[in-house]
Structure 1
Amino acid sequence: MQLPDATLNFAKKHPLMEDKALARPLLLTKGVNFTRLVVDRVSSLDQRAYNMLFIGTAEGWLQRVVVLGNEAHVIEEIQLFETPQPVDSLTISHSKKYLYIGSRSEVLQLPLANCSRYQSQPDCLLARDPYCAWDSEGRACVRIDLHRGSTSSLSQDLMLERFSRGKPKFDKPVSIPSPEHSRLKNITVVVGLGHGAAVPAGLQPGSALLAPERPGAPAR
């Protein structure tokens, strides 16, 4: 059997599996090109483990997605860069509890979750963020892995079981200060230095420098 060169080249670049794939797409987003994916395994209050997806896009956005059973729930989308550019790398540091995001010109440091942005119990629970729980004593949405003290005052509802049982009762919210501007940090990448430029001690061209933050500088 003789086949055209175009068909043979396509077959070489697109090999087929021996058996068919039975899985279905977990997440489909129209008009969005995903560039990078990193997965964290998060333990919730009920001791279940959930897959948390951090997805970078070609336009410089980050999607935070949790896999709940057979569905993917998009918790939030974050615009990372002032100028749209692809996300080239994603790395989780479990020791520092940060996500590091790289592009061709910038490296950003982002907390794995910003639970304080949810300023009421319904917002905290409906976000379905496995990192976050509502603290009935402090009346605030807190990071579980950073919470000090007993977890008996914490509550989650990732599967919305509380809402499926009827009209739930919620704690009244309290005033919560705005998140710190330093939650999203910009790291300047020194690609190359001009002739005669001074190089800081111990730094080689191509290394990464943590840009000092200006007091009162707006968050990015």
Structure 2
Amino acid sequence: MEDINNVFSTSTFKGFTESIPDPRPGTCGTNTQSLESKVLRMVEHHPEMESPIHPIGKGPLIFKDEDHFKKIVVDFVVGFNGTVFYVLFLAMGDGKIQKVLEIGQSVFIISELTILKEPGPISSMSLDSEAKLLYVTAAKEVVRIPLMQCEKYNESCESCVMARDPYCAWDDREKNCVPVTSRSSNLIQDPENGDHKKCPSERVAFYRSSQRENPALVLEGHGSVYLSCPKQSHHAHYSWKMQDQTMDCSSNEDECLFFISNLAERGGSSYQCVSNERGHEQFHTSYLIKDSGSLMYLTRCSIAVYCIFMTAVALLLH
């Protein structure tokens, strides 16, 4: 407010080259009925200040090169230890919404939400901070979004803490990522840093237990294929492991894809998709390529053609 008051009292008016009348437009007068007509004309035709209002820090808090932010609403969240966090919901031109945590003069993108059935501009956003709901209006849709989506981080304590979502915290007794309320206590949360080391030490075995609980997907045949690994966090580095080799993703956007030109040549191989975020390694999925025993793998179609051919030969011979 100090910056705003200073600009109103010192800045020139955009497009106005004459001397500024007294009382200065923008100040509170004692008797508005006594204002001269030139003051009223100036207010009507030159309402804009020449000097800008700079954000705190003299620079933008967040910007996006490929798209412009169209709408913004801001919610405040009180953590279970009493710390106040500000969460920005930024609508982009394609209808997606970025959920952003403000931390001092920096930001952390918690998630990017796709909420519309048909991509398109968002007309308006309205926040119900008490009920923790966001209402979004587009040309053909009205959508209500819960601000608390803690179930997305239920996979582990590390996933919950590293999400840095101030609405959520890890309850180690319930083994769940739960919404934070005024009555919450004894939870694990670190929106400022997302330090997964705050989780109980027994969770370090999670990588191996995930491998046991999620058996490999078996592939067989020949021809080219992309192994798919959907990304759970865009802040993590994803890669593929095959025996002692570590390989980067062939394509690296919403999914970490790995291209294999011929399955038959990789028979007996096992591929694991893993991620590493700030030193925390996590297993996601694995594929086992079945060894067909021969490079001459027959598809159902080729088997059918072969059977018809052999039947025709047998009839001719008889």
Under a length normalisation based on structure 2, what TM-score does the superposition of the two structures give?
0.45
* Among candidates 94, 104, 107, match of residue 139 of structure 2: 104
- Alpha carbons 1:61, 1:77 under 8 Å: kept: yes
Deviation at 1:170, TM superposition (A): 5.6
Number of the residue aligned with 1:86: 121
Q: Deviations over 1:96-136 (max 9, x none)?
A: 32111111221101101200111211110011000000001
Q: Distance in 1 between matches of 2:105 and 2:141?
A: 35
Percent identical among aligned pairs is 28
Deviations 1:171-195 (A, max 9, x none): 47799xxxxxxxxxxxxxxxxxxxx
TM-score (norm 1): 0.64
| Mapping of residues 37-186 of structure 1, within 5 Å | 37-118=72-153, 119-145=155-181, 150-152=184-186, 154-160=187-193, 162=195, 169=201, 171=203
Query: In 2, Cα distance between the equivalents of 1:141 and 1:99?
Result: 21
What residue number does 2:65 align with?
A: 30
Q: Cα distance 1:122–1:83, how it changes in 2: closer, same or farther (>3 A)?
A: same
CA contact (8 A) 1:60 1:80 kept: yes
Task: Confirm or deny: 8 A CA contact 2:127 2:133 kept in the other structure.
Answer: yes
Runs of at least 5 residues in structure 1 that lack an aligned partner in the other structure: 1-6, 176-220
Q: Which amino acid in 2 is paired with 1:113?
A: M
Partners in 2 of 1:170 and 1:31 — Cα distance? 42
Helix, strand or coil for the counterpart of 2:77? strand
SS at match of 2:144: strand
Deviating more after overlay: 16-25 vs 33-42: 16-25
What are structure 2's unaligned runs of at least 5 residues? 1-13, 17-45, 211-318
| RMSD (Å) for aligned C-alpha atoms | 3.2
Query: Is the alpha carbon distance of 1:170 and 1:34 closer, same or farther for their aligned partners in structure 2, counting shifts above 3 Å?
Result: farther
CA separation of 1:40 and 1:15: change in aligned 2, threshold 3 A: same
Change (3 A) 1:14 1:29: farther
Deviations 1:50-104 (CA, angstroms, capped at 9, x unpaired): 1110111110001100101221100000112232111111111134321111112
Return the alpha-carbon distance in structure 2 between the equivalents of residues 91 and 150 of structure 1.
27
Match of 1:17 among 51, 54, 57: 51
Report the secondary structure of 1:82's partner residue. Answer: coil
Distance in 2 between residues matched to 1:19 and 1:46, nearest whole Å: 34
| Higher helix proportion (structure 1 or 2) | 2
Cα deviation, residue 45, structure 1? 2.2
- 1:113–1:143 contact (8 Å) kept in structure 2: yes
